[in-house]
Structure 1
Amino acid sequence: MLPRVLTVTYDARDPERLARFWAGMLGREVIEDAGGLLLPGDDTQPGLRVARGDAEMVRPNLIHLHLTSTTLDDQQQTVAKILELGGSHLDVGQLPEEGHVVLADPEGYEFDVIEPGNNFLAGTGFLGELACDGSRAVGVFWSEALGWPLVWDQDEETAIQSPHGGTKVAWGGPPLAEREGRNRQRFEVAVAADDLAAEVDRLVALGAKRLGPAELADPDGNEFSVTAR
Structure 2
Amino acid sequence: MTTRLCNVVVDATDPAGLALFWSEVLERPAVPSGDGEVDVPLDDEVDLVVVPVDEPKQGKNRVHLDLASTSPEHQARLVARARELGASPVDIGQGEVPWVVLADPEGNEFCVLEPRDEYRGIGPVAAVVVDALDPVALAAFWSHAAGVAVTRQDGRSASLRRDGGFWLEFLRRAEVNPAKNRVHLDVAPPADGDQPTEVSRLEARGAVRSDVGQGAVRWVVLADPEGNEFCVLTPR
TM-score (norm 1): 0.87
Residue 178 and residue 125 in structure 1: after superposition, are their counterparts in 2 closer, same or farther (change >3 A)? same
More moved, 86-95 vs 51-60: 86-95
- Which runs of 5 or more structure 1 residues have no equivalent in the other structure? none
Deviations 1:102-131 (A, max 9, x none): 111110111111112x23434432200111
Verify: 1:37 aligned to 2:35, yes or no. no
> What are the ranges of 5 or more consecutive residues in structure 2 without an aligned counterpart?
212-218
**AA matched with 1:92:** I
Inter-partner Cα distance in structure 1 for 2:36 and 2:74: 34
Matched, 1:126 2:124: yes
| Partner Cα separation in structure 2 for residue 131 and residue 197 of structure 1 | 28
CA distance in 2, matches of 1:41, 1:98: 26
From the superposition, tell whether residues 94 and 5 of structure 1 become closer, same or farther in structure 2 (CA, over 3 Å): closer
3-state SS of 2:233 partner: strand
Instruction: Compute the displacement of 1:191 (Å).
Output: 3.0
CA contact (8 A) 2:4 2:145 kept: no
Partner of 2:25: 25
Q: d(CA) in 1 for partners of 2:5 and 2:41?
A: 9
Q: What secondary structure does 2:98 align onto?
A: coil
Partner of residue 66, structure 1: 66
Query: Distance between the aligned counterparts of 1:83 and 1:208, measured in 2?
Result: 38
Return the alpha-carbon distance in structure 1 between the equivalents of residues 102 and 138 of structure 2: 27
Q: Which amino acid aligns with 2:138?
A: V
The answer on whether the counterparts of 1:123 and 1:166 sit within 8 Å (CA) in structure 2 is no
Aligned to 2:232: 226
Q: How does 1:1-229 map to 2 (within 5 A)?
A: 1=1, 4-29=4-29, 30-34=31-35, 36-42=37-43, 46-95=46-95, 97-116=96-115, 118-134=116-132, 135=134, 136-162=136-162, 164-180=163-179, 182-192=180-190, 195-211=194-210, 214-228=220-234, 229=236
Distance 1:219 1:151 in 2: 20
Structure 1 stretches of 4+ with a deviation exceeding 6 A read none
- Decide whether the 8 Å contact of 1:90 with 1:110 is kept in 2: yes
Separation in 1, partners of 2:91, 2:205? 38
- Equivalent pairs, count: 224
Q: Partners of 1:12 and 1:131 in 2: how far apart?
A: 19
